[in-house]
């Protein structure tokens, strides 16, 4: 397992197994943060602020960690460390009974996810040949979508019809399940701990690349904006759909089904990515992904939408929403200067986390005035702006 090339693809399958379990844990825990916030007396503003706390620590860690992965001989262990931190964050959430401790626990979960993502994306960028970059990032994000599909289903099944005071013990049980999933994600990466890039010496000799140089390309800026708008849209949907559903009399179990429909549609689109790229350019698909995602967010916010309408909108929107992440990963990796792919991908994640702090915080202010649908309209506006820039 010391080297990998076009015929040595086992590293990718081990990575994908770890990604599935880690993202199952993450997407099991994320909706529970909203329900737990409600259970301890939080409102729509509190949900937005606790959601924003998830991205605070990663804002400080992302770029230095990306530069470290560019220099490191082995980075698979960072994926395993991230899964362990994610497990610890789930236990912290299960023990939290106040808004401050929930925000701190949310920050720990965000740090664990960051470690998994930067190191995992760096492995794909380092070991995938250029002609397979879009496909491999598509499979990587498809594995994440599988976790996004499974996590809400598990959380919905554990919560069932819990409400009011019953939400606190129910969410604690579900968070213990999330911890177990994260541990399995750490175990899944163990066969890759000795994986070392045969091209690492060339990367070591590459001159250091600053952030300004990475951002110099116009395609890079557009890709970063599209990425942060799409990811923050998923976060806002995950955080505020429980509130919208509760106001419309929709049970937590069905919320889990709705979120899984969105994730399942994203999974299908990522598996179809090689076929789609054979017919449309990467740039056109990024524009379509952001624009249609914006339309779907706006439609979810329309008052009176029942379970069937929400399911249809989230399925259609989820298909296009799923395309943006692998495409922007490949765009950033191929646009980055030599020897700086890890730094560029980390900068992308830093931008994502900045969006995950700023956009939910802005959405929380709007939600405090006009309710949870206003938060989705904020996200839709950002998505439309990203589509215009990408165009």
Spatial distance between the Cα atoms of 259 and 152, rounded to a whole number of angstroms: 6
Spatial distance between the Cα atoms of 78 and 195, rounded to a whole number of angstroms: 12
pLDDT, the chain, mean? 80
> Does position 99 have pLDDT exceeding 50, yes or no?
yes
CATH number of 10-390: 1.20.1250.20
* pLDDT > 70: percent of the chain: 88
pLDDT classification of 344: cutoffs 50, 70, 90: confident
> Does position 205 have pLDDT exceeding 50, yes or no?
no
Instruction: Look at the block and give the residue holding tokens 């939290």.
Output: 96
> Does position 236 have pLDDT exceeding 90, yes or no?
no
Contact present, 375 and 366 (Cβ < 8 Å): yes
Between CA 23 and CA 152, with CA 88 as vertex, the angle to 5 degrees is 35
* Per-range mean pLDDT, top range of 127-131, 173-177, 191-195, 305-309: 173-177
Spatial distance between the Cα atoms of 296 and 83, rounded to a whole number of angstroms: 31
> Does position 202 have pLDDT exceeding 50, yes or no?
no
Spatial distance between the Cα atoms of 58 and 68, rounded to a whole number of angstroms: 15
Spatial distance between the Cα atoms of 239 and 219, rounded to a whole number of angstroms: 30
The reported pLDDT for the residue numbered 82 is 92
Which of 223, 351, 234 lies closest to 296 in space, CA to CA?
234
- Encode burial over 356-381: b for 16+ CB neighbours within 10 A, e otherwise: bbebbbbbbebbbeebbbbbbbbbbb
- For residues 161-182, give the mean pLDDT: 82
pLDDT classification of 207: cutoffs 50, 70, 90: low
The reported pLDDT for the residue numbered 180 is 94
- For residues 127-154, give the mean pLDDT: 82
- Which residue ranges make up each domain of the chain? 10-390
CB atoms within 10 A of CB 210: 12
Q: Is 339 left (phi over 0), alpha (psi -120 to 50) or beta?
A: left
Contact present, 342 and 204 (Cβ < 8 Å): no
- For residues 287-309, give the mean pLDDT: 85
pLDDT classification of 21: cutoffs 50, 70, 90: very high
Give the list of residues 6+ apart from residue 161 with CB closer than 8 angstroms, or none: 251, 252, 253
Q: Is the dihedral of CA 52, 59, 115, 100 positive or negative?
A: negative
- Encode burial over 179-208: b for 16+ CB neighbours within 10 A, e otherwise: bebbbbbbebbebbeebebeeeeebeeeee
The reported pLDDT for the residue numbered 1 is 43
- Report CA 48 to chain centroid distance, whole Å: 17
* Per-range mean pLDDT, top range of 101-105, 157-161, 194-198, 342-346: 101-105
> Does position 86 have pLDDT exceeding 90, yes or no?
yes
> Does position 118 have pLDDT exceeding 80, yes or no?
yes
> Does position 172 have pLDDT exceeding 70, yes or no?
yes
Structure pTM?
A: 0.72
């Amino acid at each position: 397992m010391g080297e990998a090339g076009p015929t040595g693809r086992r590293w990718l399958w081990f990575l994908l197994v770890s990604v599935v379990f880690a993202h199952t844990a993450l997407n099991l825990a994320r909706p529970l943060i909203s329900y737990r916030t409600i259970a301890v007396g939080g409102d729509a503003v509190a949900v937005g602020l606790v959601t924003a706390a998830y991205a605070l620590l990663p804002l400080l860690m992302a770029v230095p960690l990306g530069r470290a992965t560019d220099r490191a001989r082995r980075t698979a262990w960072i994926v395993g460390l991230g899964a362990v931190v994610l497990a610890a964050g789930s236990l912290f959430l299960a023990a939290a009974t106040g808004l401050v401790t929930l925000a701190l626990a949310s920050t720990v979960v965000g740090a664990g996810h960051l470690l998994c993502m930067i190191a995992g994306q760096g492995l794909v960028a380092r070991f995938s040949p250029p002609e397979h970059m879009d496909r491999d990032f598509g499979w990587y994000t498809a594995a994440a979508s599988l976790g996004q599909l499974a996590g809400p289903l598990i959380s919905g099944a554990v919560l069932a019809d819990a409400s009011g005071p019953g939400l606190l013990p129910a969410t604690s049980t579900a968070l213990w399940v999330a911890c177990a999933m994260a541990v399995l994600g750490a175990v899944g990466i163990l066969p890759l701990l000795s994986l070392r890039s045969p091209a690492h010496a060339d990367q070591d000799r590459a001159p250091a690349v600053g952030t300004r140089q990475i951002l110099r390309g116009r395609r890079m800026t557009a890709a970063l904006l599209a990425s942060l708008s799409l990811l923050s849209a998923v976060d806002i949907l995950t955080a505020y759909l429980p509130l919208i559903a509760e106001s419309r009399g929709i049970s937590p179990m069905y919320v889990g089904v709705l979120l899984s429909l969105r994730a399942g549609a994203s999974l299908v689109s990522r598996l179809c990515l090689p076929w789609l790229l054979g017919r449309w350019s990467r740039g056109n698909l990024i524009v379509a992904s952001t624009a249609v995602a914006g339309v779907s967010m706006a439609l979810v916010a329309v008052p009176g939408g029942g379970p069937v309408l929400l399911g249809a909108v989230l399925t259609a929107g989820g298909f296009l929403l799923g395309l943006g992440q692998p495409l922007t990963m490949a765009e950033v990796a191929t646009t980055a200067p030599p020897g700086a792919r890890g730094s560029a991908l980390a900068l992308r994640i830093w931008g994502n986390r900045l969006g995950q702090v700023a956009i939910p915080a802005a959405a929380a202010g709007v939600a405090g005035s006009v309710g949870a649908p206003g938060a989705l309209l904020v996200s839709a506006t950002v998505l439309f702006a990203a589509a215009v820039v990408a165009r």
